[in-house]
C-alpha cells in the first residue's frame, strides 16, 4: 500500500430543500387555506478517526465529496426528506486544516473522534408557516439555505511514543527491526527509508510505539534530501531517540546538524526530551570508542549511550531509558503531546 500522509479534498454539505406554496383544495371544504410543507434539512459532512486505517491513500483517488440536496416541501403539509450525512473515515492522528494549510480545524487524535467540517443548510419554510390573522393566504415560501463548502487539507501525524531521528544510514531501520516486529527495508545507501515505519517495542513488561523517521541532512528545512516532510509524525512523541553513527567522521557535527534542522522546523519539537545513542559500536575497538565518547561529551555537554543494533548490544539499557521518559509523560497526560504545529512547508 502506498503511504500517503497528506491530502487536499473538497467537501460540500447538502443544500436545504425549498418550502412549497400550496393551498388546500378539496370538495366541500371552502377556504382551505395554505398547506405548503417545509423543505428538508441538508446533511452535514463529518470526519471520524478510524482505528483500521493508517494512510490517507483513499483520498488520493477521490477528492470531491458532496451531500445531495434535501427534499422540497409539498402540499398537504408534507415536509421534504432530510438528506443523510456523509462520514469520511481517516486514520487516528489526522489533523484537519483550512485551505491555507495553517489554521487547524480539528485534531482527531483518538479512535472515534469526530468533527463536523461542513454544515448542511436548513430547509425553507412552506407558505403554511407564514399564515397569520392578517395574511390568510400567503403566496410565498422560503428557498432552502445552501450547505457549506470548502477545500481542506488532511495531514496525518502518526501516534508514536518515541521517534528515531538521525542522519541517513545511522542505523535507524536496523534498530527498529531488532527491537520490534517491524520489517523496514534495510540497505547500505542513504535514504533507504522513504516513509515512516512503526513498531511496538516491549521493555520490562511495558510496551511503547517506536517510529522510524527518514533521515535528515543539512538544509532539510529548505527541502534538501527528503526535507522536513515527515517530521510532523514525531510531534506527538514523548521522547526522541537521536541515533548517531559512531563510525562517522565527527559524531558531534552530525548531532548538531540534526538539531539545527529540528529547530528550523519547530521550536516545540526541538525542546522535546531526547535520548542520544551511539550506534555501530561493534565496528570500533574499545579505545577508539572511548575517545569518541569523550570528544562528543566535551563538544556537546551530552552523554550518549553506546549501542550496536546489528550486534544487539546494550539495547535493554536503551529501551529502559526511553521507557522512563515515556512513563513520566503518560502520568502527566493521557496521550502524547499534540502541540507543536509545523512551521515547515509540507508538500504531498
Domain count, the chain: 2
Last residue of some domain: 121, 156, 191? Answer: 156
What CATH number is attached to the domain comprising 96? 2.70.210.12
For residues 305 and 166, state if they share a domain. yes
For residues 135 and 182, state if they share a domain. no
**Most confident option among 79-83, 107-111, 330-334, 344-348:** 79-83
Residue of 172, 151, 153 lying closest to 342 (CA atoms): 153
Residue of 342, 335, 12 lying closest to 156 (CA atoms): 342
Q: What pLDDT is attached to residue 54?
A: 81
Instruction: Give per-residue pLDDT as tens, 62-88.
Output: 999 999 999 999 999 999 999 999 999
Instruction: Give per-residue pLDDT as tens, 145-196.
Output: 999 999 999 999 888 899 999 988 888 899 999 999 878 777 766 666 777 8
Q: Does residue 342 belong to any structural domain of this protein? A: no
Q: Does residue 348 belong to any structural domain of this protein? A: no
Q: Does residue 73 belong to any structural domain of this protein? A: yes
Last residue of some domain: 109, 131, 156? Answer: 156
Q: Does residue 341 belong to any structural domain of this protein? A: no
pTM: 0.76
Q: Does residue 338 belong to any structural domain of this protein? A: no
What CATH number is attached to the domain comprising 213? 3.40.50.300
For residues 182 and 304, state if they share a domain. yes
For residues 152 and 169, state if they share a domain. no
Instruction: Provide the domain limits for residue 245.
Output: 162-332
- DSSP H or E stretch at residue 296: helix 286-300
For residues 3 and 106, state if they share a domain. yes
For residues 203 and 225, state if they share a domain. yes
Strands 104-108 and 45-50: unpaired
Grid coordinates 556537546 are at which residue?
300
For residues 145 and 13, state if they share a domain. yes
For residues 37 and 166, state if they share a domain. no
Q: How far apart are CA 88 and CA 46, in angstroms?
A: 6
For residues 25 and 167, state if they share a domain. no
Last residue of some domain: 126, 156, 186? Answer: 156
For residues 323 and 174, state if they share a domain. yes
Cα atoms found within 13 Å of the Cα of residue 158, Cβ hemisphere only: 25
Instruction: Give per-residue pLDDT as tens, 106-150.
Output: 999 899 999 999 999 999 999 999 999 999 999 999 999 999 999
For residues 67 and 151, state if they share a domain. yes
For residue 313, what are the contacts with CB-CB under 8 A and spacing of at least 6? 281, 282, 307
The pLDDT-based confidence of 248 (bands split at 50, 70, 90) is confident
Q: Does residue 345 belong to any structural domain of this protein? A: no
Q: How far apart are CA 187 and CA 74, in angstroms?
A: 69
For residues 121 and 76, state if they share a domain. yes
- DSSP H or E stretch at residue 259: helix 251-265
Amino acid at each position: 500500500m502506498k503511504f500517503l500522509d497528506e491530502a487536499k479534498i473538497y467537501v460540500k454539505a447538502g443544500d436545504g430543500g425549498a418550502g412549497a406554496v400550496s393551498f388546500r383544495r378539496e370538495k366541500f371544504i371552502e377556504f382551505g387555506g395554505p398547506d405548503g410543507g417545509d423543505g428538508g434539512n441538508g446533511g452535514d459532512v463529518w470526519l471520524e478517526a478510524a482505528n483500521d486505517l493508517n494512510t490517507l491513500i483513499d483520498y488520493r483517488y477521490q477528492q470531491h465529496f458532496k451531500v445531495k440536496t434535501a427534499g422540497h416541501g409539498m402540499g398537504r403539509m408534507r415536509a421534504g426528506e432530510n438528506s443523510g450525512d456523509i462520514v469520511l473515515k481517516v486514520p487516528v492522528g489526522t489533523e484537519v486544516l483550512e485551505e491555507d494549510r495553517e489554521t487547524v480545524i480539528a485534531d482527531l487524535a483518538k479512535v472515534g473522534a469526530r468533527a463536523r467540517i461542513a454544515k448542511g443548510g436548513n430547509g425553507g419554510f412552506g407558505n403554511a408557516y407564514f399564515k397569520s390573522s392578517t395574511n390568510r393566504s400567503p403566496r410565498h415560501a422560503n428557498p432552502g439555505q445552501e450547505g457549506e463548502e470548502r477545500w481542506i487539507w488532511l495531514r496525518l501525524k502518526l501516534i508514536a511514543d518515541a521517534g528515531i531521528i538521525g542522519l541517513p544510514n545511522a542505523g535507524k531501520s536496523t534498530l527498529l527491526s531488532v527491537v520490534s516486529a517491524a520489517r523496514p527495508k534495510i540497505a547500505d545507501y542513504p535514504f533507504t527509508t522513504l516513509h515512516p515505519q512503526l513498531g511496538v517495542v516491549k521493555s520490562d513488561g511495558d510496551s511503547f510505539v517506536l517510529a522510524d523517521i527518514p533521515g535528515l541532512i543539512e538544509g532539510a528545512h529548505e527541502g534538501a534530501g527528503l526535507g522536513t516532510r515527515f517530521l510532523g509524525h514525531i510531534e506527538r512523541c514523548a521522547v526522541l531517540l537521536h541515533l548517531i553513527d559512531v563510525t562517522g567522521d565527527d559524531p558531534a557535527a552530525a548531532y548538531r546538524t540534526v538539531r539545527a534542522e529540528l529547530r528550523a522546523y519547530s521550536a516545540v519539537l526541538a525542546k522535546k526530551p531526547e535520548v542520544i545513542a551511539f550506534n555501530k559500536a561493534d565496528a570500533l575497538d574499545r579505545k577508539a570508542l572511548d575517545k569518541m565518547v569523550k570528544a562528543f561529551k566535551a563538544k556537546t555537554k551530552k552523554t550518549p549511550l553506546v549501542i550496536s543494533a546489528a550486534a544487539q548490544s546494550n539495547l535493554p539499557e536503551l529501551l529502559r531509558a526511553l521507557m522512563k521518559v515515556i512513563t513520566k509523560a503518560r502520568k502527566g497526560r493521557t496521550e502524547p503531546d499534540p502541540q507543536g504545529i509545523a512551521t515547515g512547508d509540507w508538500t504531498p
